[in-house]
Amino acid sequence: MSIRERLSGNEACAIAMKQINPDVVAAFPITPSTEIPQYFSTFVSNGAVDTEFVAVESEHSAMSACVGAEAAGSRAMTATSANGLSFMWEMIYIASSMRLPIVMSLVNRAVSGPLNIHNDHSDAMGVRDAGWIMLFSENNQEAYDNLIMAHRIAEHKDVLLPLMVCQDGFITSHSIENIELIEDDLVKKFVGTYKPEHYLLNAKEPIAMGPLDLQSYLFEHKKQQAQAMINAKKVILDVAKDFEKMTKRSYSFFEEYKLDDAEIAIVCMNSTAGTTKAVIDELRKNGVKAGLLKIRVFRPFPAEEIAKALSHVKAVAVLDKADSLNACGGALFSDVTSGMQVNKVNVPTVNYIYGIGGRDTKSSDIESVFSDLSKIAKTGDIGNPYRYLGLRG
């Protein structure tokens, strides 16, 4: 049976890593992800794991060490946030192009500048096209569960892509919540042993990794990465089914909260979903048919499935916790509306940029979005689709 605990999101991720017991963890501290490798280092020092912990001099070096470890045939993990992820940028692309299933905890935080240590999604959105699978987590339970599933997804022979598990900095990472942990032996059995087919330290198959790749082959290799991301959709669902058998907790590409009969709906990711659910519950008491589609899997993006789930509503608002600064909305909005258009779903849709730099998003803010959607549903007039939520002035 499960183990009930009270943990922060960072603690939950560190315990997941302890249960996974990877071969290598390389990390450099950066707020608000610092606690994850800090907690994990205590497991190393007290002998709870036999992981090689590499305390490097920078985040670029952390990802470089993970790349080297995975290429050599080891299971590698790390954690970072914001500017740390930016410093990894070169190696983020190299990890995915070399098809190395590294798993990273990304504790979302605003990317400088100006300097801000609080939560938004600008770090994750900055690498959304880097070839990493991206899972988002509403609370510490989901951050923990996503990490337990991560290696099974990333290391699958039809995928072989790195994977990042995202959670909101401070909001989730440092907040203590009730959580159900899985027994160590069950996690070990579920995750399994990493047995790569090709790796540098295999004396029976001398190979090179990361060589020069010019006009003759790079195009084809990028297409292989794209196909692996497509393959990941089925693998993600298959792993979730096995996880549900073990825990009774169900996961898919997204969660539909009171969406089946909804007339108006919000699409969002991470902790904002919790506030939105509370608002929906209150609106439902007053007869407002409001619903939520909470994205869990952002890469690969489940465009067809999202379009189908939203096809019956009368108006949709997509909430982006990062601004693409492109004069036409945020990244999640672009993906959702593109997916709807391609799949011939025509629903009035507006975008709200919100929560930048840790700006609080209150219940009243979410209520105002649903109020706007009710008007759009009645008139069909979206006005300016590019909006801001909680902006002063």
User: CA 158: distance to chain centroid?
Assistant: 20
Q: How far apart are CA 345 and CA 348, in angstroms?
A: 10
pLDDT of residue 1: 61
- pLDDT band per the 50, 70, 90 thresholds, residue 150: very high
Average pLDDT, the chain: 97
- The tens digit of pLDDT for each residue in 262-316 reads 999 999 999 999 999 999 999 999 999 999 999 999 999 999 999 999 999 999 9
Rg (CA), the chain: 21
Residue 89 CB coordination number (10 Å): 15
Q: How far apart are CA 147 and CA 190, in angstroms?
A: 12
The alpha carbon torsion through 191, 193, 195, 201 (nearest 10 deg) reads: 120
- The tens digit of pLDDT for each residue in 191-226 reads 999 999 999 999 999 999 987 899 999 999 999 999
Query: E strands of 339-384, at which residues?
Result: 349-354
SS3 131: coil
Q: What is the mean pLDDT of residues 74-92?
A: 98
Q: How far apart are CA 264 and CA 345, in angstroms?
A: 15
Domains of the chain: 3-247 (3.40.50.970), 254-389 (3.40.50.920)
Element (H or E) spanning 240, and its range? helix 218-247
**Helices then strands, each counted (H, E), the chain:** 13, 15
pLDDT of residue 393: 83
Task: Please report the sign of the dihedral spanned by the C-alpha atoms of residue 292, residue 293, residue 295, residue 297.
Answer: positive
pLDDT of residue 2: 83
